Chain A
Amino acid sequence: MKAVRAIAFAALVIGALPASAGEISPGERRSGYSFMAPDTKAMQDDDTANPGMLWVLDGEALWNKKQGAADKSCADCHDDAHESMRGVAARYPAFDKELGRPVDLEQRINLERVRRQRAEPLAFESRDLLALTAFIAEQSRGVPISAGSDPKLAPSIAKGRELFMQRQGQLNLACASCHDDNWNKRLAGSAITQAQPTGYPMYRLEWQSLGSLQRRLRGCIFGVRAQPYEFGAPELVELELYLMTRAKGMPIETPAVRP
């Protein structure tokens, strides 16, 4: 009887342990870039071979295009994006006072469209929204990630961290099960990376397209056979925010290329 009780107690203790064996120390942090094959690295490094640059070009055209009932372009207020947008992507997701919660860069663009340009918001993962996001984020290339320093974001970061550590889905895996505990190993043929969101929106060869961090997160959640959150859901933004604080100080690579 005592033995049974001891086993039950042991099971309880193991069950109560956090999913993570250990978070990645700052010195050990590595961009997904460092896990890639030389060919894929070359593709990212050469701006005329990086397909993500096609979206950046489109985004620059959209930046200067007048839109909505206000008949204003992004450039009418923000001038030259090369100066005004430098470092902005490194600070997102950021707190929006009116909504009282954090919004990511895509959501910020749509809020500006609705509030200032009086235009319809762009659909998540639409070519135009990805193009504008890529163009804005590309201005922050090489800028160290600094998202999450606003104290109002603390509860959202904590929620994001909780979601990252939370086991879910039929496979009962947490994000941390792979990306904190087993990075640098392989899952089937693919490298398990650290999930550092340094290059979004990024061109994935598997997608044959540019895609957002939310798309990537939904893909992973689907992969552990859980029900993904809808695009724009606060939970996804909280996860994005936690991942960005986890990658604090790492340089932005947008548009990155990944396999």
Chain B
Amino acid sequence: MPSALINVPKKARRGDVVEIKALMSHVMETGYRRTAAGDLVPRDIITSFTCRYNGAEIFRADFFPAIAANPFISFFTVAKESGKLEFEWIGDRGFSETASTPITVE
């Protein structure tokens, strides 16, 4: 049961630089580890993270096996208009999760 924690200011003034933080629950199994029996544990990571602000992509990151479990992403954007921030995580084994949060710009 993957869950996300999103931290976006509820309100901002037009033109403000706002910080966006997103934490996603994921094991980020590297694919380099072996079991006690010597079998390779298959890679299971998030490969891509995207954030859209009212439909326009404002941030994208590709993830690799060196990223820690439960990846936490923080970035900045300029508050332009009220609306919705949408987040999407895509990964191995068909992993696909979305979250969204509203923002009010005055």
Task: Tell me the A residues contacting B by CB distance below 8 Å.
Answer: 46-49, 51, 53-54, 57-58, 61, 205, 208-209
Are A209 and B69 in contact, with the CB atoms below 8 A? yes
Chain B: interface residue total (CB-CB under 8 A): 14
B21 located at the interface, meaning its Cβ lies under 8 Å from any Cβ of chain A in the complex = yes
Are A47 and B5 in contact, with the CB atoms below 8 A? yes
What is the bound-complex CA distance between A79 and B7, given in angstroms?
Answer: 29
List of B residues within 8 angstroms of A49 by Cβ: 5, 7, 21, 23, 72
**Majority secondary structure of chain B interface residues (helix, strand, loop or mixed):** loop
Are B28 and A208 in contact, with the CB atoms below 8 A? yes
What is the bound-complex CA distance between A58 and B68, given in angstroms?
Answer: 20
Are A208 and B70 in contact, with the CB atoms below 8 A? yes
Nearest B residue to A43 by beta-carbon distance?
A: B72
* Cβ-defined partner of A51 (8 Å) among B1, B6, B21, B72: B72
What is the bound-complex CA distance between A58 and B26, given in angstroms?
Answer: 13
Are A46 and B70 in contact, with the CB atoms below 8 A? no
Nearest B residue to A55 by beta-carbon distance?
A: B25
User: B29-68 toward A: CB 8 Å interface, digit per residue (1/0)?
Assistant: 0000000000000000000000000000000000000001
B3 located at the interface, meaning its Cβ lies under 8 Å from any Cβ of chain A in the complex = yes
Nearest B residue to A52 by beta-carbon distance?
A: B70
List of B residues within 8 angstroms of A205 by Cβ: 68
Are A48 and B28 in contact, with the CB atoms below 8 A? no
B25 to chain A minimum Cβ distance, whole angstroms, is 4
A204 to chain B minimum Cβ distance, whole angstroms, is 11
* Cβ-defined partner of B5 (8 Å) among A48, A61, A208, A209: A48
